[in-house]
Structure 1
Amino acid sequence: MRVVRAKHAGVCYGVERALDMAVVAMMDEDDTHTLGPLIHNPTVVKQLEEQGVKVAKSVDDIESGIVVIRSHGVEPHVMQQLKDKGLTVIDATCPHVAKAQRSAGELRDAGGTVIVIGRAEHPEVKGLCGHAGERAVVVADVDELPDDLIEPVGIVVQTTESKEKLEAVVEAVRARGIEPVVKNTICFATRQRQNSAADLADEVDAIVVIGGKNSSNTTHLYDICKAHCERSYFIERVDEIDPAWFAGCETVGVTAGASTPDDQICAVVDYLETL
């Protein structure tokens, strides 16, 4: 069985940067925390904890030391709370997310409604809403658009969302006779991984998608692969693989979310090559 790795897969610049910043912080200060999981990869977060980087659920859980802001960013008031407590803050917000936050603030200052496309419970979206202000409206898809939209209307999007979802929301708003100000804040790495996964899924008999089940970008990768290849499988660890999945397969593809380190991808590729 031939195993083919996607051209673009695995850790992106923003995640790698956040990991590097956390490791440096840990080396400088024993009392190091992240506010929420640094990235959406349970295996990596556990490894960081074993090295001494503690995961705090809230600002109230941190009394001293260094706080590393997760790659997804936080709301402005959370950043202020940390500073008010006199904590040392290292901002590991992904630069693409930071750009999206600035875009949300610009739309807020223009007045009207700011549509934030993404999952309301996702930390990045919460951060975007914090920058977008009181008139922010979160929609996971076009069906969640509210009936009344106060003009002007601006649109910003979670960096790991799909361009198809953004385009659908934009067209739905235009259909109401409103021309929105659109900030396409989907990051380039996300688009690369999505396009690469779709291309590979068209060419193989089955495909394995690696990443945290709590990872938005990996979930989107899986959905894209599933639309192109029925035998698509979403795993976090190599030991989740069932060899029976690949019965009769000549080629198997492998892709991974932007929070998946290369060693996790290699472990899956190496195992599949033994089947």
Structure 2
Amino acid sequence: MEIIVAKRAGFCFGVKRATQMAFEAAKEKRNTFTLGPIIHSPQVVQKLEEMGVKVRKDLAGLSDATIIIRSHGVAAEELEEAVRKELDIIDATCPFVKKAQEHVKSLSQSGYDVVVVGDADHPEVQGIVSYATGKVYVVGSDEEASRLPKMGKIGVVAQTTQSFENLQNVVMKCLARGGEIRVFNTICDATAIRQEEAKELARQVDCMVVIGGYNSANTKRLTEVCTELQPKSFQIETAQELNPAWFDKVERVGVTAGASTPKWLIDEVVERIQQINRNK
């Protein structure tokens, strides 16, 4: 059985940067916390906790401490609170997410009603939305966009892990809702490239394995695009979740991973598939 691992499986630039910053901070052995999980990988979060870096839901009661801002970013008011408390701030926000936050702030200040294309429950989107000073709407699809009210000026940005097609479809609906439209394509190139690579791989194999946290939006999307082309596509977090039955009569297995998945997890999955193959 041949195992093909996607070239761009695993950490993207923003996640790699954030984890490096977090592990460097952990070595300092200070009173260090992350505001929310640093990335959407329970295994990486656990490793950091073992090194003394705990996850905080908020900053209540915190003083004389180091706070790491996660790769997805945080709400503007949370960052302001950290500054007021004079905490030592390590901002590991992905630069692409930071750019989306800046665009929302600028659009809002320029009199645009803002539309954010993404998942309203995702921490990245919640952070981006907080930078608006005027009206802001979150839509996940063109169907939701068609229900937006009429507006004079509309500014559009996207969650960095959205597909370009979805952004394009929402923008088309917004054209019917506003007199003036300004669009910033804030989708991360790495996300689009990763999805295209996964599609190409899914066409070539008999089974696809997608590795990543179940709370990871980009991993979920990778699984969706793979399933469209290869129905035998499975998302897992760890090698222990692999089911030997998935590989019955399979000659070629494709493996890809979300942007928050570390290389050591990918290696463990590949080793486990190899073991399953030997035991056939």
Q: TM-score normalised by the shorter chain: which range applies?
A: over 0.9
Residue identity in the other structure for 2:235: F
Query: Shift in Å at residue 89 of structure 1?
Result: 0.6
Task: State the Cα distance separating 1:140 from its structure 2 match.
Answer: 1.3
**1:85 alignment partner in structure 2:** 85
The 5 Å alignment of 1:133-212 reads: 133-145=133-145, 146-176=147-177, 178-212=179-213
What TM-score results when the alignment is normalised by the length of structure 2? 0.95
Moved more, 250-259 or 54-63: 54-63
Shift of 1:161: 0.9
SS class of match (2:152): coil
Counterparts of 2:63 and 2:124, CA distance in 1: 24
Contact 1:56/1:62, CA 8 A, preserved across alignment: no
**Quick one: distance in 2 between partners of 1:56 and 1:113?**
32
State the distance in 2 between where 1:149 and 1:49 align.
48
Query: Shift of the alpha carbon at 1:178?
Result: 4.4
Q: Deviations over 1:178-230 (max 9, x none)?
A: 45211100011111111111110111111000000000111111111111110
Please report how far the alpha carbon of residue 176 of structure 1 lies from its aligned counterpart in structure 2 after TM superposition: 4.6
Mapping of residues 113-152 of structure 1, within 5 Å: 113-145=113-145, 146-152=147-153
Asked if 1:11 is matched to 2:11, the reply is yes
Distance in 2 (CA, whole Å) between partners of 1:216 and 1:61 is 31
Q: Distance in 2 between matches of 1:25 and 1:83?
A: 18
Conserved 8 A contact 1:113-1:149: no
Listed one character per residue, the Cα deviations across residues 228-268 of structure 1 (whole Å, up to 9, x for unaligned) are 11000000000000010111111110000000011111111
Q: Is contact 2:151–2:178 with CA below 8 Å preserved after alignment? A: no
Residue number in structure 1 paired with 2:65: 65
Question: Aligned letter for 1:116?
Answer: V
**1:4-35 per-position Cα deviation (integer Å, ceiling 9, x unaligned):** 11122110111111111112222224210000
Q: Which amino acid aligns with 1:207?
A: M
Correspondence for 1:252: 253
Secondary structure of 1:214 counterpart: coil
Aligned counterparts of 2:121 and 2:85: Cα–Cα separation in 1: 26
Separation in 2 of the partners of 1:87 and 1:49? Answer: 20
Q: Partner amino acid for 2:63?
A: E
What letter corresponds to residue 199 of structure 1 in structure 2?
Answer: E
Pair 147,24 (structure 1): closer, same or farther in 2 beyond 3 Å:
closer
RMSD: 1.3
CA deviation vs aligned residue, 1:164-183 (integer Å, no higher than 9, x gap): 11011011122456452111
After superposition, what is the alpha-carbon deviation per residue over 1:132-160, rounded to whole angstroms, capped at 9, x for unaligned?
23311001112222331322111100001
Tell me the secondary structure at the aligned position of residue 172 of structure 2: helix
Native 8 Å contact 1:211 1:234 kept in 2: yes
Matches of 2:265 and 2:97, distance apart in 1: 25
Q: Does the 8 Å CA contact 2:239/2:268 hold for their aligned counterparts?
A: yes
- Residue equivalent to 1:30: 30
Separation in structure 2 between the aligned mates of residue 157 and residue 220 of structure 1, nearest angstrom = 15
Paired position in structure 1 for 2:264: 263
Q: Would you say the 8 A contact 1:217–1:258 is kept in 2?
A: yes
Q: Deviations over 1:31-54 (max 9, x none)?
A: 100001000001110111011101
Counterpart code for 2:75: E
- C-alpha separation between the residues in 2 aligned to 1:64 and 1:39? 24
Deviations along 1:80-129, whole A, 9 cap, x unmatched?
10111121111000111111111111211221310001111111101110
Aligned partners of 1:263, 1:171: CA distance in 2, in Å?
Answer: 42
Letter in 1 for 2:21: M
- Report the TM-score, using the length of structure 1 for normalisation: 0.96
Query: Which amino acid is the alignment partner of residue 156 of structure 1?
Result: V
Distance in 2 (alpha carbons) for counterparts of 1:198 and 1:110: 39
Q: Supply the distance in 2 between the matched residues of 1:209 and 1:234 (Cα, whole angstroms).
A: 5
